[in-house]
Structure 1
Amino acid sequence: RGPLSAVAHQLIGGLHQSMFYVGSRTIPELQDRGQFVRITSAGLHESHPHDIQMTVEAPNYSGR
């Protein structure tokens, strides 16, 4: 656990990236343009990099 500011920073960064991906400038535009796609846990695992030796793990990714 850490300070709330670190969590808020991650959430805001994710929101900015989501808005960029769909081309929205406002949150209401994001709600209109956004689309959720459900994937399986196996699909999620495959969508992450694998078979790569990392020297330092990313702080926001917990591999299995």
Structure 2
Amino acid sequence: MRVSPEVALTFDDVLLVPAASSVHPRKARLETQFTQGIRLQIPLVSAAMDTVTESRLAIAMAQEGGMGIIHKNLSPSDQAAQVRRV
């Protein structure tokens, strides 16, 4: 879906109407292609914020099938150390 740059929407502007579905929840597939070489089992990616994601959360996200993005507010060597821990 493409949205015009002139259109700005918030959560209050969008409504998903509940309805019956023929898809059984256990048969729903959530995997998605994140990049050309990375496939995620669940479509969840953490925020790359210093108060949110370091190695601990990135590991937990990966274990559940998502991805944690290490934030950039670190020195290059500290960033590399965080990535190595993951």
Q: What range is the shorter-chain TM-score in?
A: under 0.3
Q: Give the greater-gyration-radius structure (CA).
A: 2
- Higher relative CO (Cα under 8 Å, sequence separation at least 6) belongs to 2
Task: From the two aligned structures, give the one with the greater helix fraction.
Answer: 1
Task: From the two aligned structures, give the one with the greater strand fraction.
Answer: 2
If the length of structure 1 is used for normalisation, what is the TM-score? 0.21
If the length of structure 2 is used for normalisation, what is the TM-score? 0.18
